[in-house]
Amino acid sequence: MSISAKRRETEVFSLAFLDCICCGFGAVILVFILTLSQKSTVDKADMEDAQNRLQKMMRDVTSSQQDLDRLAQVIAAAQLELEDANAKNTQDQLRLTNRERELLLMLQQTGAMKDALHTLLGEKNALPTDDHAPVPIPNIDRRQYLTGVKLQGEFVVFLVRASGSMLDESIELASARLGDSEAKKREAPKWQRTIHSLQWMLASLDPEQHFQIFFFNEETSPILPNRGDEWFSTKDKKAISEVMKRLNEVVPQGGANLERAFTTVRFLPRLPDSIVLLTDGLPTRSDSLPMEGDVDETTRIRFFEIATKQLPPRIPVSTILFPFLSGDPGAPGLYWELANATRGALVSPSKSWPDL
Protein backbone atom coordinates (compact mmCIF):
# COMPACT_ATOMS: atom_id res chain seq x y z
CA MET A 1 0.00 0.00 0.00
CA SER A 2 1.38 3.40 -0.94
CA ILE A 3 2.00 6.39 1.34
CA SER A 4 -0.69 8.59 -0.36
CA ALA A 5 -3.34 6.04 0.36
CA LYS A 6 -2.65 6.10 4.11
CA ARG A 7 -3.02 9.86 4.28
CA ARG A 8 -6.60 9.76 2.99
CA GLU A 9 -8.01 8.12 6.12
CA THR A 10 -11.38 9.61 7.30
CA GLU A 11 -11.22 12.24 10.23
CA VAL A 12 -13.86 12.07 12.92
CA PHE A 13 -14.16 15.85 13.61
CA SER A 14 -14.74 17.29 10.21
CA LEU A 15 -15.84 20.89 9.42
CA ALA A 16 -19.44 19.88 8.79
CA PHE A 17 -19.71 18.30 12.21
CA LEU A 18 -18.40 21.40 13.91
CA ASP A 19 -20.95 23.52 12.09
CA CYS A 20 -23.75 21.34 13.32
CA ILE A 21 -22.43 21.53 16.85
CA CYS A 22 -22.20 25.31 16.71
CA CYS A 23 -25.70 25.67 15.25
CA GLY A 24 -27.19 23.48 17.94
CA PHE A 25 -25.45 25.35 20.68
CA GLY A 26 -26.63 28.65 19.23
CA ALA A 27 -30.20 27.36 19.09
CA VAL A 28 -29.99 26.33 22.76
CA ILE A 29 -28.68 29.77 23.71
CA LEU A 30 -31.47 31.43 21.74
CA VAL A 31 -34.16 29.32 23.44
CA PHE A 32 -32.63 30.12 26.84
CA ILE A 33 -32.59 33.84 26.11
CA LEU A 34 -36.23 33.81 24.93
CA THR A 35 -37.34 31.78 27.96
CA LEU A 36 -35.48 34.09 30.39
CA SER A 37 -37.17 37.18 28.93
CA GLN A 38 -40.64 35.65 29.24
CA LYS A 39 -39.91 34.58 32.87
CA SER A 40 -38.93 38.15 33.77
CA THR A 41 -42.22 39.44 32.33
CA VAL A 42 -44.26 36.87 34.32
CA ASP A 43 -42.43 37.59 37.60
CA LYS A 44 -43.03 41.35 37.22
CA ALA A 45 -46.83 40.85 36.82
CA ASP A 46 -46.95 38.58 39.86
CA MET A 47 -45.00 41.12 41.86
CA GLU A 48 -47.39 43.95 40.91
CA ASP A 49 -50.38 41.80 41.84
CA ALA A 50 -48.78 40.91 45.15
CA GLN A 51 -48.04 44.60 45.82
CA ASN A 52 -51.69 45.50 45.08
CA ARG A 53 -52.92 42.84 47.48
CA LEU A 54 -50.46 44.05 50.10
CA GLN A 55 -51.68 47.65 49.75
CA LYS A 56 -55.30 46.52 50.05
CA MET A 57 -54.45 44.53 53.15
CA MET A 58 -52.67 47.56 54.59
CA ARG A 59 -55.78 49.71 53.96
CA ASP A 60 -57.95 47.06 55.61
CA VAL A 61 -55.60 46.95 58.57
CA THR A 62 -55.68 50.75 58.85
CA SER A 63 -59.50 50.80 58.70
CA SER A 64 -59.73 48.03 61.29
CA GLN A 65 -57.33 49.92 63.53
CA GLN A 66 -59.49 53.06 63.26
CA ASP A 67 -62.59 51.01 64.17
CA LEU A 68 -60.74 49.58 67.13
CA ASP A 69 -59.73 53.08 68.24
CA ARG A 70 -63.33 54.30 68.02
CA LEU A 71 -64.56 51.24 69.90
CA ALA A 72 -61.96 51.85 72.57
CA GLN A 73 -63.20 55.46 72.93
CA VAL A 74 -66.81 54.25 73.26
CA ILE A 75 -65.78 51.72 75.88
CA ALA A 76 -63.84 54.37 77.77
CA ALA A 77 -66.86 56.74 77.71
CA ALA A 78 -69.16 53.95 78.87
CA GLN A 79 -66.75 53.15 81.66
CA LEU A 80 -66.80 56.81 82.80
CA GLU A 81 -70.62 56.86 82.70
CA LEU A 82 -70.71 53.63 84.72
CA GLU A 83 -68.35 55.14 87.29
CA ASP A 84 -70.51 58.30 87.48
CA ALA A 85 -73.66 56.19 87.88
CA ASN A 86 -72.05 54.17 90.65
CA ALA A 87 -70.95 57.36 92.41
CA LYS A 88 -74.43 58.88 92.08
CA ASN A 89 -76.03 55.68 93.34
CA THR A 90 -73.76 55.81 96.37
CA GLN A 91 -74.76 59.43 97.04
CA ASP A 92 -78.45 58.56 96.67
CA GLN A 93 -78.04 55.73 99.14
CA LEU A 94 -76.42 58.13 101.59
CA ARG A 95 -79.22 60.68 101.17
CA LEU A 96 -81.84 57.96 101.58
CA THR A 97 -80.19 56.82 104.77
CA ASN A 98 -80.17 60.39 106.10
CA ARG A 99 -83.85 60.83 105.23
CA GLU A 100 -84.73 57.58 106.96
CA ARG A 101 -82.98 58.86 110.06
CA GLU A 102 -84.84 62.19 109.83
CA LEU A 103 -88.15 60.38 109.38
CA LEU A 104 -87.48 58.19 112.39
CA LEU A 105 -86.64 61.28 114.44
CA MET A 106 -89.83 63.01 113.26
CA LEU A 107 -91.90 59.97 114.22
CA GLN A 108 -90.35 59.98 117.65
CA GLN A 109 -91.04 63.71 118.03
CA THR A 110 -94.61 63.21 116.83
CA GLY A 111 -95.18 60.55 119.44
CA ALA A 112 -93.84 62.85 122.14
CA MET A 113 -96.04 65.72 120.88
CA LYS A 114 -99.11 63.46 120.95
CA ASP A 115 -98.37 62.51 124.53
CA ALA A 116 -97.92 66.17 125.47
CA LEU A 117 -101.13 67.10 123.66
CA HIS A 118 -103.05 64.36 125.44
CA THR A 119 -101.75 65.65 128.75
CA LEU A 120 -102.72 69.24 127.92
CA LEU A 121 -106.20 68.18 126.82
CA GLY A 122 -106.65 66.32 130.08
CA GLU A 123 -105.61 69.42 132.02
CA LYS A 124 -107.95 71.58 129.94
CA ASN A 125 -110.91 69.27 130.52
CA ALA A 126 -110.18 69.37 134.23
CA LEU A 127 -110.50 73.16 134.32
CA PRO A 128 -113.83 74.57 135.54
CA THR A 129 -116.00 75.87 132.69
CA ASP A 130 -118.92 78.26 132.46
CA ASP A 131 -122.04 76.92 130.75
CA HIS A 132 -122.85 80.32 129.25
CA ALA A 133 -121.28 81.89 126.20
CA PRO A 134 -118.93 84.78 127.01
CA VAL A 135 -120.94 87.11 124.78
CA PRO A 136 -124.78 86.98 124.81
CA ILE A 137 -126.15 85.65 121.52
CA PRO A 138 -129.54 87.22 120.71
CA ASN A 139 -132.71 85.14 120.95
CA ILE A 140 -131.01 81.85 121.76
CA ASP A 141 -134.35 80.33 122.78
CA ARG A 142 -135.72 80.83 119.25
CA ARG A 143 -133.16 78.69 117.45
CA GLN A 144 -135.97 76.39 116.24
CA TYR A 145 -136.32 78.64 113.22
CA LEU A 146 -132.97 77.27 112.00
CA THR A 147 -134.06 73.62 111.87
CA GLY A 148 -133.83 73.57 108.07
CA VAL A 149 -130.07 74.24 108.10
CA LYS A 150 -127.79 71.26 108.59
CA LEU A 151 -125.05 72.13 111.07
CA GLN A 152 -123.67 68.61 110.90
CA GLY A 153 -120.19 67.32 111.55
CA GLU A 154 -117.47 68.32 113.95
CA PHE A 155 -116.13 71.14 111.76
CA VAL A 156 -118.43 73.72 110.14
CA VAL A 157 -117.50 76.59 107.81
CA PHE A 158 -119.74 79.65 107.44
CA LEU A 159 -119.37 81.61 104.19
CA VAL A 160 -120.99 85.03 104.53
CA ARG A 161 -121.51 87.24 101.51
CA ALA A 162 -120.35 90.79 102.35
CA SER A 163 -120.89 92.48 98.99
CA GLY A 164 -122.72 95.77 98.40
CA SER A 165 -125.89 93.84 97.50
CA MET A 166 -126.28 92.88 101.17
CA LEU A 167 -127.17 96.50 102.02
CA ASP A 168 -130.78 96.26 100.79
CA GLU A 169 -133.44 94.22 99.00
CA SER A 170 -132.98 95.52 95.44
CA ILE A 171 -130.26 96.83 93.20
CA GLU A 172 -131.66 100.34 93.29
CA LEU A 173 -131.91 100.52 97.09
CA ALA A 174 -128.53 98.90 97.61
CA SER A 175 -126.92 101.30 95.14
CA ALA A 176 -128.49 104.22 96.99
CA ARG A 177 -126.75 103.08 100.19
CA LEU A 178 -123.29 102.87 98.64
CA GLY A 179 -122.65 106.50 99.49
CA ASP A 180 -123.47 106.03 103.17
CA SER A 181 -120.84 106.04 105.88
CA GLU A 182 -119.40 102.74 107.06
CA ALA A 183 -121.39 103.01 110.28
CA LYS A 184 -124.67 103.34 108.35
CA LYS A 185 -123.73 100.46 106.05
CA ARG A 186 -123.14 98.22 109.07
CA GLU A 187 -126.58 99.22 110.41
CA ALA A 188 -128.41 98.39 107.15
CA PRO A 189 -131.44 96.17 108.04
CA LYS A 190 -130.59 93.42 105.57
CA TRP A 191 -126.99 93.23 106.78
CA GLN A 192 -128.10 93.16 110.42
CA ARG A 193 -130.43 90.26 109.62
CA THR A 194 -127.48 88.43 108.14
CA ILE A 195 -125.33 89.04 111.24
CA HIS A 196 -128.16 87.95 113.58
CA SER A 197 -128.74 84.79 111.55
CA LEU A 198 -125.06 83.92 111.84
CA GLN A 199 -125.17 84.53 115.59
CA TRP A 200 -128.18 82.23 115.92
CA MET A 201 -126.38 79.46 114.09
CA LEU A 202 -123.29 79.86 116.25
CA ALA A 203 -125.54 79.48 119.28
CA SER A 204 -126.94 76.29 117.72
CA LEU A 205 -123.54 74.65 117.57
CA ASP A 206 -122.76 71.85 119.97
CA PRO A 207 -119.97 72.76 122.44
CA GLU A 208 -117.84 70.00 120.89
CA GLN A 209 -118.22 71.39 117.38
CA HIS A 210 -115.70 73.74 115.79
CA PHE A 211 -116.32 76.51 113.30
CA GLN A 212 -114.64 79.02 111.02
CA ILE A 213 -116.18 82.07 109.33
CA PHE A 214 -115.15 83.61 106.01
CA PHE A 215 -116.56 86.82 104.54
CA PHE A 216 -116.46 87.09 100.79
CA ASN A 217 -116.96 89.95 98.36
CA GLU A 218 -114.34 90.49 95.68
CA GLU A 219 -111.88 88.99 98.19
CA THR A 220 -112.27 86.23 100.78
CA SER A 221 -110.99 86.76 104.32
CA PRO A 222 -111.38 84.97 107.67
CA ILE A 223 -113.34 86.70 110.39
CA LEU A 224 -110.17 86.99 112.45
CA PRO A 225 -107.27 88.06 110.20
CA ASN A 226 -104.22 85.76 110.17
CA ARG A 227 -106.26 82.97 111.81
CA GLY A 228 -107.88 81.50 108.73
CA ASP A 229 -106.36 78.05 109.34
CA GLU A 230 -107.70 77.79 112.90
CA TRP A 231 -110.95 76.35 114.22
CA PHE A 232 -112.95 77.98 117.02
CA SER A 233 -115.31 76.54 119.62
CA THR A 234 -118.17 78.14 121.52
CA LYS A 235 -116.39 76.96 124.69
CA ASP A 236 -113.50 79.29 123.89
CA LYS A 237 -114.59 82.53 125.58
CA LYS A 238 -111.77 84.62 124.19
CA ALA A 239 -112.31 83.46 120.60
CA ILE A 240 -116.09 84.00 120.80
CA SER A 241 -115.55 87.48 122.19
CA GLU A 242 -113.21 88.37 119.30
CA VAL A 243 -115.60 86.87 116.75
CA MET A 244 -118.58 88.84 118.06
CA LYS A 245 -116.58 92.04 118.05
CA ARG A 246 -115.44 91.46 114.49
CA LEU A 247 -119.01 90.72 113.31
CA ASN A 248 -119.92 94.30 114.18
CA GLU A 249 -116.95 95.72 112.25
CA VAL A 250 -117.47 94.19 108.80
CA VAL A 251 -118.74 96.60 106.10
CA PRO A 252 -120.54 95.18 103.02
CA GLN A 253 -119.01 96.47 99.79
CA GLY A 254 -117.95 95.52 96.27
CA GLY A 255 -118.92 92.53 94.17
CA ALA A 256 -119.24 88.85 95.14
CA ASN A 257 -116.64 86.26 94.07
CA LEU A 258 -118.06 82.90 95.14
CA GLU A 259 -115.39 81.01 93.22
CA ARG A 260 -112.66 82.48 95.42
CA ALA A 261 -114.66 81.65 98.57
CA PHE A 262 -115.10 77.99 97.61
CA THR A 263 -111.43 77.79 96.57
CA THR A 264 -110.39 79.09 100.00
CA VAL A 265 -112.38 76.34 101.68
CA ARG A 266 -110.94 73.74 99.30
CA PHE A 267 -107.39 74.49 100.39
CA LEU A 268 -107.94 74.60 104.15
CA PRO A 269 -105.46 72.36 106.02
CA ARG A 270 -108.44 70.56 107.51
CA LEU A 271 -111.54 70.33 105.32
CA PRO A 272 -114.88 71.04 107.01
CA ASP A 273 -117.60 68.46 107.53
CA SER A 274 -120.26 70.90 106.26
CA ILE A 275 -120.55 74.37 104.72
CA VAL A 276 -123.22 76.99 105.45
CA LEU A 277 -123.53 79.71 102.82
CA LEU A 278 -125.30 82.99 103.65
CA THR A 279 -126.00 84.92 100.46
CA ASP A 280 -128.68 86.82 98.56
CA GLY A 281 -128.09 85.77 94.94
CA LEU A 282 -125.67 84.65 92.29
CA PRO A 283 -122.01 85.74 92.22
CA THR A 284 -121.01 88.83 90.24
CA ARG A 285 -117.28 88.18 89.94
CA SER A 286 -115.10 85.23 88.90
CA ASP A 287 -111.35 84.64 88.79
CA SER A 288 -111.66 82.20 85.88
CA LEU A 289 -113.80 84.60 83.82
CA PRO A 290 -112.74 88.10 84.87
CA MET A 291 -115.12 90.92 83.90
CA GLU A 292 -115.55 94.50 85.06
CA GLY A 293 -118.79 96.37 85.70
CA ASP A 294 -122.30 94.98 85.71
CA VAL A 295 -122.89 91.47 84.34
CA ASP A 296 -126.13 89.94 83.08
CA GLU A 297 -127.92 86.91 84.51
CA THR A 298 -126.43 84.49 81.98
CA THR A 299 -122.92 85.54 83.03
CA ARG A 300 -123.78 85.28 86.75
CA ILE A 301 -125.10 81.76 86.16
CA ARG A 302 -121.80 80.93 84.45
CA PHE A 303 -119.93 82.38 87.46
CA PHE A 304 -122.01 80.14 89.76
CA GLU A 305 -121.24 77.02 87.71
CA ILE A 306 -117.51 77.83 87.74
CA ALA A 307 -117.60 78.41 91.50
CA THR A 308 -119.29 75.10 92.33
CA LYS A 309 -116.51 73.23 90.53
CA GLN A 310 -114.12 74.48 93.22
CA LEU A 311 -116.09 72.88 96.05
CA PRO A 312 -114.36 70.04 97.91
CA PRO A 313 -116.13 66.74 97.15
CA ARG A 314 -118.61 65.03 99.46
CA ILE A 315 -119.21 68.04 101.73
CA PRO A 316 -122.85 69.11 102.35
CA VAL A 317 -123.57 72.72 101.42
CA SER A 318 -126.56 74.39 103.07
CA THR A 319 -127.60 77.81 101.78
CA ILE A 320 -129.55 80.56 103.54
CA LEU A 321 -130.79 82.59 100.60
CA PHE A 322 -131.98 86.00 101.72
CA PRO A 323 -134.47 87.92 99.56
CA PHE A 324 -132.48 88.09 96.38
CA LEU A 325 -131.86 91.04 94.15
CA SER A 326 -133.94 91.67 91.08
CA GLY A 327 -132.31 90.10 88.03
CA ASP A 328 -131.54 86.78 89.74
CA PRO A 329 -134.75 84.75 89.28
CA GLY A 330 -132.70 81.60 88.68
CA ALA A 331 -130.84 81.81 92.01
CA PRO A 332 -133.28 79.70 94.12
CA GLY A 333 -133.30 76.88 91.58
CA LEU A 334 -129.52 76.81 91.27
CA TYR A 335 -128.95 76.83 95.04
CA TRP A 336 -131.58 74.12 95.42
CA GLU A 337 -129.71 71.98 92.90
CA LEU A 338 -126.49 72.62 94.84
CA ALA A 339 -128.14 71.54 98.10
CA ASN A 340 -129.59 68.44 96.45
CA ALA A 341 -126.27 67.48 94.82
CA THR A 342 -124.29 67.85 98.06
CA ARG A 343 -127.00 66.53 100.42
CA GLY A 344 -127.29 69.90 102.07
CA ALA A 345 -130.30 72.17 102.50
CA LEU A 346 -131.78 75.40 101.18
CA VAL A 347 -133.58 77.95 103.35
CA SER A 348 -135.11 81.02 101.75
CA PRO A 349 -136.51 82.96 104.71
CA SER A 350 -139.12 85.67 104.68
CA LYS A 351 -138.19 89.31 105.21
CA SER A 352 -139.15 89.11 108.89
CA TRP A 353 -136.87 86.16 109.63
CA PRO A 354 -135.14 85.77 112.08
CA ASP A 355 -137.07 88.41 114.03
CA LEU A 356 -140.34 86.46 114.16
DSSP secondary structure letter of residue 320: E
Task: Say what the pLDDT of residue 13 is.
Answer: 54
* Distance from C-alpha of 83 to C-alpha of 90, rounded to nearest angstrom: 11
**Bridge partners, 157 (sequence order):** 212, 275
pLDDT tens for each residue of 106-152 = 777 777 777 777 777 777 666 655 444 444 555 544 444 455 676 78
Q: Crossing angle, helix 237-247 and helix 189-204, to 10 degrees?
A: 160
Amino acid at 224: L
Task: Say what the pLDDT of residue 144 is.
Answer: 43
Sorted by sequence, the CB contacts under 8 Å of residue 44 that are 6+ apart come out as: none
Closest CA to 356 of 194, 192, 139, 136: 139
pTM, two decimals, is: 0.61
Task: Say what the pLDDT of residue 279 is.
Answer: 94
* Distance from C-alpha of 312 to C-alpha of 262, rounded to nearest angstrom: 8
Structural domain boundaries of the chain? 18-127, 140-347
Q: Tell me which of 1.10.340.30, 3.40.50.1820, 3.40.50.410, 3.40.50.620 is the CATH number of domain 140-347.
A: 3.40.50.410
Q: Crossing angle, helix 297-308 and helix 258-266, to 10 degrees?
A: 0
Task: Say what the pLDDT of residue 289 is.
Answer: 92
Note whether 138 and 196 are within 8 A (CB): yes
Task: Say what the pLDDT of residue 12 is.
Answer: 54
Note whether 213 and 225 are within 8 A (CB): no
* Distance from C-alpha of 356 to C-alpha of 352, rounded to nearest angstrom: 6
Polymer length in residues for the chain: 356
Residue 162: count of CB within 10 angstroms of its CB: 24
Radius of gyration of the chain (CA): 54
H helix runs in the chain, sequence order: 3-6, 15-126, 171-176, 182-186, 189-204, 237-247, 258-266, 297-308, 331-342
Task: Say what the pLDDT of residue 198 is.
Answer: 92
Closest CA to 168 of 184, 152, 151: 184
In tens digits, what is the pLDDT along the chain, a chain of 356 residues?
554 555 555 555 566 777 777 888 788 787 777 776 665 565 677 788 888 888 888 888 888 888 888 888 888 888 888 888 888 878 777 777 887 788 777 777 777 777 777 777 777 666 655 444 444 555 544 444 455 676 789 999 999 999 999 998 888 888 889 899 999 999 999 999 999 989 988 988 988 999 999 999 999 999 999 899 999 998 999 999 999 999 999 999 999 999 999 999 999 999 999 999 999 999 999 999 998 888 898 999 999 999 999 999 999 999 999 876 566 788 999 999 999 999 999 988 766 665 54
